[in-house]
Amino acid sequence: MVFPLSLKHANSYVAKHVALVGDAAHTVHPLAGQGVNLGFGDAFALSRVIGEGIAVGSDIGEVSLLRRYEAERRPANIVMMAILDGFQKVYSIDFGPLNIVRAAAFNAANYFSPLKRNIISYASGEQRLPLFT
């Protein structure tokens, strides 16, 4: 069985009393398990926003509250989706010189500990890119 690589993103994550998370909001190429990590990030952010709403007595389905979840997760998801799409495209090209450059870049990243730690931390959702902090 073959599953086509797909990349899809909802125009909006929220509406009154509705919030899309995980694959309902976005689908990515099945590379390195990042789809599930994005979904976990969505669920965590939404639960935090709902908790904040409950703490102040808000209607947890109010669009203005749910938009805070969307404002946090949409940019982070778009960045990871672009990175995964780039990886998929780079790895789908079989061209000798590109293969050498690609292998050298990934080997260098593997041996440069600070870079490797940051990549792993970002990919696991523990850290956000400076643009989104």
List the CATH number of the domain containing 66: 3.50.50.60
Residue 4 pLDDT > 90: no
Q: How far is residue 45's CA from residue 13's CA, in Å, rounded to a whole number?
A: 12
Q: What is the pLDDT of residues 60-104, one digit of tens each?
A: 999 999 999 999 999 999 988 988 888 888 888 898 998 999 899
pTM for this entry: 0.80
Q: Which distant-in-sequence residues (6+ apart) come within 8 Å of 118 by Cβ?
A: 127
Beta strand spans in the chain (E): 8-9, 14-15, 18-19, 26-27
What is the total count of domains within the chain? 2
Q: What is the domain extent for residue 112? A: 93-127
Kindly state whether residue 132 falls inside one of the protein's structural domains: no
Provide the token pair at 91: 């790895």
The token pair that represents 1 in the structure block: 């069985």
Asked if 75 and 102 touch (Cβ cutoff 8 Å), the reply is: no
113 domain residue, yes or no? yes
Looking at the fold, whether 31 and 56 belong to one and the same domain comes out as yes
